[in-house]
Structure 1
Amino acid sequence: MMTAGEVAEQIRTGQVTSREVTEQLLARIAADTEVNAVVEVRPEYALAAADAADRTQPTGPLHGVPMTVKDAIDVAGLHTTWGNPAFAEYVADRDATVVERLQRAGAVIVGKSNVHMMLADFGQTANEVYGRTNNPADHSRTPGGSSGGSAAALAADLTYLEYGSDLVGSIRLPAAYCGVYGLRPTNGLVPQRGFQVPGTPYLPSELPNLSTIGPLARSAADLRIALRATAGPDAPYSWQLTPPRHRRLQDFRVGVVTDHPAAPVSSDVGDAMAATIDRLARSGAKIAEGWPDDVDPSRQAEEFGDQVGLFFALHGGEPTELTVDELLATERARMIARAKWQRYFEDVDVFLCPTSFTVAFSHGSTIIGGQPHEAQVFWIAHASLIGNPALSMPIGRTEDGLPVGAQVIGPWHEDDTAITFAELLAG
């Protein structure tokens, strides 16, 4: 199946029409009985929007391209359930900011993809409203969570582009398990209006917000297209994507870590990482092994866990019992961690490591390869703690055909450096 950028180019040059592409996509969604990734569609609207795109000159990079978004992101006229039966009848009355911007870029939003109940699991996607989503590579295995429907829809050819959310790896882990690309943008880069639990107001905040929303796609180039279309503050402020540091793979300085005792990688992940680093070395890129100076990865993973607890307290969860001094110490630790990584990125362009220690595992597993379910958090914790852009990219498959993902972490507000590196590494 083509990428979103390729479809947009074919529509622009008249090789296909948006209606043809949209009809074919809707037919594939209707025929799916196994994956259960796309859980709501609006065919009449989608076909009317496609016809309108075919009648007008292309003005945006996604002109006429049909796509889906995560259930938790508001689309006017569609349900926003968060996988919770209590919200099963809730219908959004306006589009989220990202949806407005995707449509302004020409995209045709055909429907919604499945999520885990209240987005509460980074390893599974299942709920009582829409049921369970399966991994397209092996239906007995998870697609990851909570944006599992997003990644599975891409892998199963049920959409051309997706938009999900990432607090505890909820974009990157599903992307790795399903063999697609997924970007957690720099913290705060993409506005979150329209990504709230039904009935709660959108409250812009200057406080740290670990949760981000970002694109999933079939190529790194599609991540760039989607980010350019959706990132930046609301008016009257403005923003422009920073150019990548390099445009040739051999010019990159790449930090590399392939394993850690806190979440030892499986042989499948380790072999794929080793092969990727060998290919990178042959390209002429400069490789620097090891974590940044003075970074204790286990401690930073714990600090991320502390921040997640504070995030939920801020957003109506269990209140924190920390004192003011303890709260300040927690925030100071986060700022120290960010400063250490910022110094690191003065001499290194990107940091390459596993997205997860494992490939997709069986539904409902609590012990994975001898490690607890929570061990999935270790590799995604560091970028989340400091708020830097991080993407997952496919780097191979196991003998059983299961995807393996690698994570590319980039410098603060230099998302396109990470995207360009992934694009070049994929060849």
Structure 2
Amino acid sequence: MTIDHYSTATAMLEALRHRQISSVELVDMHIARIEELDGTLNAIPVRSFDRARQAAKQADERMAAGGTAPLLGLPMTLKESTLTAGLPQSAGIPRFKDYRPDVDGPIADSVFRAGVCLLGKTNIPFSLADWQADSTIYGRTNNPWDLSRTPGGSTGGGGAALAAGMTPLEVGSDIGGSIRVPAAYCGVYGHRPSETAIPRSGGFPTEDLPNPTFLMSVQGPLARSAVDLELLFDVLMGPEPGEDAGWKLDLLAARRQRLADFRIALLPPPMGVRASDSMQSRLEALASWLSRQGAHVAEAAPAFDMDEYFKDYLRLLSVMVTIDLPREEREAQAAKLRETGDP
């Protein structure tokens, strides 16, 4: 098996287990890729190469001794806002520029226990609040497919790093598209899980402990294949600290095994927002291919008012993203939105 920068994480792990490549070699291959490309992309501004090499050496020794772990010896990255001991966690906010937590959050703890070698942390926009990754601290991340375009946000650095072959896995966070948008813009896979499937704490500076009153924001995997999403999801899933007794994840098995047995719905353009002609043509080509494979494909949509649903979503989102602002600042933002006609 030949391993390169675009191999899946699953293939890299298989090669590691069969001694076709060492963890040190795999880490060095990714470091060389970062050093070659990231000057123009600026996807991984926080680098922990020495730490990754040390972890790789230890992983090779563990594997030689017969040790195993789900991601043992695999290099990967984390979003800059992820709580990780000794590394910056600013979320792009200048007042947190020099903040270095001294503990790992549940996400970092899970991946380290699984055996990963952390290459670094990926770029984000100010306060994780944009569909790009233009940070006041680290600068702008560019899309590897077109440097004049954005990779999306707020997990924009992670999406760009995956698309450029600089990491096989990434963990992002999402309250309004911050996993899904970079995945779409960069042509990779992202999964926004249900709210309690993966711990939510540790995804923002000083928010280290579980907060059951904070809704909508989740952390989840990004990868270059759907199989790799499941691989990382299985490592990350679990309860928040202290919620062990009441937590349970009981996912139903797939009801069908053959593509021809599935019913597939195509969502009509919501609220009249139609995709570009090039994107729409690709969607139609996919629908035609699925039909030829025997699947039942038809246009369908949930039976509720999408406009009203979207307004309710925006109200709740506005509450969540301004919850820690002074009342005067929240009211000033609301007044500015009303002036523009935004409800």
What are the superposed Cα offsets for residues 253-281 of structure 1, whole Å, 9 maximum, x if unpaired? 22211423432211011111111111121
Deviation of 1:208 after TM superposition, in Å, equals 6.0
- Stretches of structure 2 lacking an aligned partner (at least 5 in a row): 1-5, 332-343
Whether 1:282 aligns to 2:287 is: no
Deviation of 1:53 after TM superposition, in Å, equals 0.7
Whether 1:52 aligns to 2:58 is: yes
Whether 1:204 aligns to 2:205 is: no
- Tell whether the 8 Å contact from 2:201 to 2:207 is kept in structure 1 after alignment: no
Partner of 2:262: 252
Alignment of 1:402-417 (within 5 A): none
Output the CA distance in 1 between the equivalents of 2:326 and 2:259.
Answer: 44
Deviation of 1:156 after TM superposition, in Å, equals 0.8
Q: Which has the higher strand share?
A: 1
Output the CA distance in 2 between the equivalents of 1:18 and 1:6.
Answer: 13
- Tell whether the 8 Å contact from 1:53 to 1:63 is kept in structure 2 after alignment: yes
Partner of 2:114: 105
**When the two structures are superposed, what TM-score results if normalisation uses the length of structure 2?**
0.87
Output the CA distance in 2 between the equivalents of 1:249 and 1:114.
Answer: 38
Bigger RCO of structures 1 and 2 (CA < 8 A, at least 6 apart): 1
Partner of 1:353: none
Which of 179, 187, 190 matches 1:182? 190
Partner of 1:264: 274
Deviation of 1:31 after TM superposition, in Å, equals 2.2
Whether 1:87 aligns to 2:93 is: no
Which of 4, 15, 31 matches 2:9? 4
Partner of 1:327: none
Alignment of 1:116-135 (within 5 A): 116-122=125-131, 124-135=132-143
| Equivalences, count | 317
The 1:82–1:286 alpha-carbon spacing in structure 2 relative to 1, beyond 3 Å, is: same
The DSSP-based 3-state class of the residue aligned with 1:67 is: strand
Which of 312, 315, 318 matches 2:321? 312
Which of 10, 22, 27 matches 1:22? 27
Output the CA distance in 2 between the equivalents of 1:192 and 1:227.
Answer: 13
Output the CA distance in 2 between the equivalents of 1:128 and 1:166.
Answer: 20
Deviation of 1:54 after TM superposition, in Å, equals 0.7
Deviation of 1:19 after TM superposition, in Å, equals 0.5
Output the CA distance in 2 between the equivalents of 1:153 and 1:171.
Answer: 13
- Tell whether the 8 Å contact from 2:91 to 2:204 is kept in structure 1 after alignment: no
Q: State the superposition RMSD in angstroms.
A: 1.9
- Tell whether the 8 Å contact from 1:96 to 1:192 is kept in structure 2 after alignment: no
Deviation of 1:59 after TM superposition, in Å, equals 2.1
The DSSP-based 3-state class of the residue aligned with 2:40 is: coil
Whether 1:158 aligns to 2:163 is: no
The 1:227–1:19 alpha-carbon spacing in structure 2 relative to 1, beyond 3 Å, is: same
What are the superposed Cα offsets for residues 381-414 of structure 1, whole Å, 9 maximum, x if unpaired? xxxxxxxxxxxxxxxxxxxxxxxxxxxxxxxxxx
**When the two structures are superposed, what TM-score results if normalisation uses the length of structure 1?**
0.71
The 1:59–1:258 alpha-carbon spacing in structure 2 relative to 1, beyond 3 Å, is: farther
The 1:315–1:247 alpha-carbon spacing in structure 2 relative to 1, beyond 3 Å, is: farther
Partner of 2:301: 291
The DSSP-based 3-state class of the residue aligned with 2:77 is: strand
The DSSP-based 3-state class of the residue aligned with 1:254 is: strand
Deviation of 1:60 after TM superposition, in Å, equals 2.3
Of 244-253 and 34-43, deviating more is: 244-253
Which of 113, 128, 141 matches 2:149? 141
Partner of 1:66: 75
Output the CA distance in 2 between the equivalents of 1:78 and 1:262.
Answer: 44
- Tell whether the 8 Å contact from 1:125 to 1:142 is kept in structure 2 after alignment: yes
The 1:318–1:147 alpha-carbon spacing in structure 2 relative to 1, beyond 3 Å, is: farther
Deviation of 1:203 after TM superposition, in Å, equals 3.8
Report the AA paired with residue 63 of structure 1: L
Partner of 2:338: none
Output the CA distance in 1 between the equivalents of 2:11 and 2:87.
Answer: 28
Output the CA distance in 1 between the equivalents of 2:114 and 2:156.
Answer: 25
The 1:234–1:208 alpha-carbon spacing in structure 2 relative to 1, beyond 3 Å, is: closer
Output the CA distance in 2 between the equivalents of 1:317 and 1:280.
Answer: 52
Deviation of 1:289 after TM superposition, in Å, equals 1.6
